[in-house]
């Protein structure tokens, strides 16, 4: 009987340890796995998804996905991320006059001095029009992409990141993780938890 109690006690400890929440490396970073998925199942349709980074009921960003196809050789697939509240922005880079999200490496610095901040950015764009060269830019099919964001909580600016994945068929986008520093105006590193 004593041996059975020891085994049960050991199993309870192992179970408790396996259920333990992953501890953050930085206590000032709030990190959540969200796995928000948006799909467009047919052509000539669009969909959008709202993102609340700090889970306060205020929508911080929105992703819009559009798939338009007139024929095999005439199509436009497009996804963009936009702000939902004034002051919210995404780290971007200009490509052919349009703003695209910057794919960050883990531990890249996200701060006020980081590159170019803009209120919206293209995630991917595929434009095929007969008689014109095909335009294909962005991150569809490139795996997980870390995106730098800054957004308002009340009247204070906070820095953070999102992990996004856009499928190679352009029909689905998943926001896998979001994180931000709870302290206003404090820089973060991409992927920091």
Q: Which pair of tokens denotes residue 95?
A: 């490509």
Pair 71, 179: CB distance under 8 Å:
no
| pLDDT at 43 (0 to 100) | 78
| pLDDT at 131 (0 to 100) | 81
pLDDT in tens, the chain (193 residues): 555 454 444 443 444 444 444 444 899 999 999 999 998 877 777 889 999 999 999 899 999 999 888 877 788 888 999 887 778 999 999 888 889 999 999 999 999 887 789 999 999 998 888 888 878 889 999 999 999 999 999 999 999 999 999 999 999 999 999 999 999 999 999 999 9
**What are the residue ranges of helices labelled H in the chain?**
2-18
| pLDDT at 16 (0 to 100) | 46
Q: Which pair of tokens denotes residue 169?
A: 């068929």
Is pTM beyond 0.85? Reply is: no
Return the ∠ at Cα 170 (arms to 52 and 75), rounded to 5°: 125
Domains of the chain by residue range: 25-189
Report the C-alpha gap between 161 and 180 in whole angstroms.
Answer: 6
Q: Which pair of tokens denotes residue 77?
A: 């697939």
């Amino acid at each position: 009987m004593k041996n059975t109690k020891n085994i049960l006690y050991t199993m309870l400890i192992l179970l408790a340890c396996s259920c333990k929440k992953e501890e953050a490396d930085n206590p000032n970073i709030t990190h959540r796995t969200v796995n928000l998925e948006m799909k467009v199942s047919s052509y000539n349709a669009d969909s959008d998804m709202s993102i609340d980074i700090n889970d306060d009921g205020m929508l911080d960003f929105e992703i819009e996905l559009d798939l338009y196809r007139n024929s095999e050789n005439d199509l436009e697939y497009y996804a963009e991320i936009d702000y939902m509240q004034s002051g919210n922005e995404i780290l971007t880079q200009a490509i052919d006059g349009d703003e695209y999200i910057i794919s960050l490496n883990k531990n890249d610095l996200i701060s006020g001095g980081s590159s170019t901040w803009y209120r919206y950015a293209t995630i991917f764009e595929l434009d095929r029009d007969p008689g014109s060269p095909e335009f294909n830019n962005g991150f569809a099919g490139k795996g997980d992409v870390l995106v730098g964001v800054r957004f308002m909580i009340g009247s204070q600016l906070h820095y953070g990141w999102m992990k996004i994945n856009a499928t190679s068929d352009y029909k689905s986008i998943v926001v896998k993780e979001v994180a931000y520093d709870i302290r206003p105006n404090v820089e973060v590193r991409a992927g920091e938890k």
